[in-house]
Amino acid sequence: MRGAVPTGWLRIAAPIVVGVLGAFAWALYVEFGDAPRALPGPADVASEFVLRWGIIWDEMLITATNAAIGLAVGTVLAVILAGLSATWRPIDGMLAPLVAALAVIPIVAITPILNTMFGASSQFGRQAVATIAAFIPVFVNVLRGLRQTRPVHRDLLRASAATGGQTFRKLTLPTAVPYLMTGVRVAASLAVISALVAEYFGGPADGVGTSIATFAKSGRASLAWAYVGGGILIGLAFFLVTALIERIVTRHAPD
């Protein structure tokens, strides 16, 4: 279906045109339609965004830091536990149901408990939520990846008299890397969403989520939307960074 993908300038121009048309329709609707009061025009949102960039950036840093810590800790934990699960069946037996249980709880549901547990002045609850959210896709993918070694490669390592540790380092782990990257890419957006949404359920009075809630309630819709823009930027940044890492790491990955 390569032919169906537009090439060159069209690939860049097409989404921009759609975006501009959308913004134009939005502006017209706000100006002449019966738009609700909470929906400001795009120009208002943009001017708030530029005007308040300083404070938006500060709040973005807080939410992004929480998400990044959650992503990093969740990934490391997931890789370690997946490694143990792949090596020792009993551990797999113990962990599999727990992870399945974790995966079906809406993580934000436990946020109020965590926030209360760790106090209103600590970011820890939010980071913990992001950690759990990031952990699951990484764990599931890495565990799968650790079981993808090809028979011919296993034979080769055995024929070369490789030790168990060598086989793990030189074969099992590298084979799992593309799966790890897929997991991290999924986990990145989940970590951002969780870190942001967790702010709606208490904890310190900062972060993009808290600001959106505060300004939406106090009737400053344009500023609330400007913060939404900040949230989108965080998500984009996480996506781009993880996609870039994935691309570099999996350049010569097995098909």
How many angstroms separate the Cα of 102 from the Cα of each of 61, 152, 175, 188?
28, 36, 26, 17
Closest approach of Cβ 184 to other proteins, in Å?
17
Contacts (CB under 8 A) with other proteins, residues 139-198 = 150, 152-153, 155-162, 166, 170-171, 174, 177
Closest approach of Cβ 173 to other proteins, in Å?
10
Count the residues of the shown chain that bind other proteins, applying the rule CB under 8 A: 20
Stretch that binds other proteins, among 65-73, 110-118, 216-224, 247-255 (CB under 8 A): 247-255
Closest approach of Cβ 5 to other proteins, in Å?
22
**Binding of residue 19 to other proteins (CB under 8 A):** no
**Contacts of residue 64, Cβ cutoff 8 Å, sequence gap at least 6:** 192, 195, 234, 237, 238
Closest approach of Cβ 201 to other proteins, in Å?
43
Q: Measure the CA–CA gap between 232 and 201, rounded to whole angstroms.
A: 20
**Binding of residue 254 to other proteins (CB under 8 A):** yes
Closest approach of Cβ 161 to other proteins, in Å?
5
Give the tokens for residue 234: 């965080």
Q: Measure the CA–CA gap between 15 and 2, rounded to whole angstroms.
A: 18
Of 3 and 165, the one with the shorter C-beta distance to other proteins is: 165
Compute how many other C-beta atoms are within 10 angstroms of the C-beta atom of residue 146: 21
Binding mask 206-225 for other proteins (x = CB under 8 A): --------------------
Look at the block and give the residue holding tokens 């400007």: 226
Q: Measure the CA–CA gap between 190 and 74, rounded to whole angstroms.
A: 11
Longest C-alpha distance within the chain, in Å?
A: 77
In the complex, the residues that contact other proteins under the rule CB under 8 A are 150, 152-153, 155-162, 166, 170-171, 174, 177, 251-254
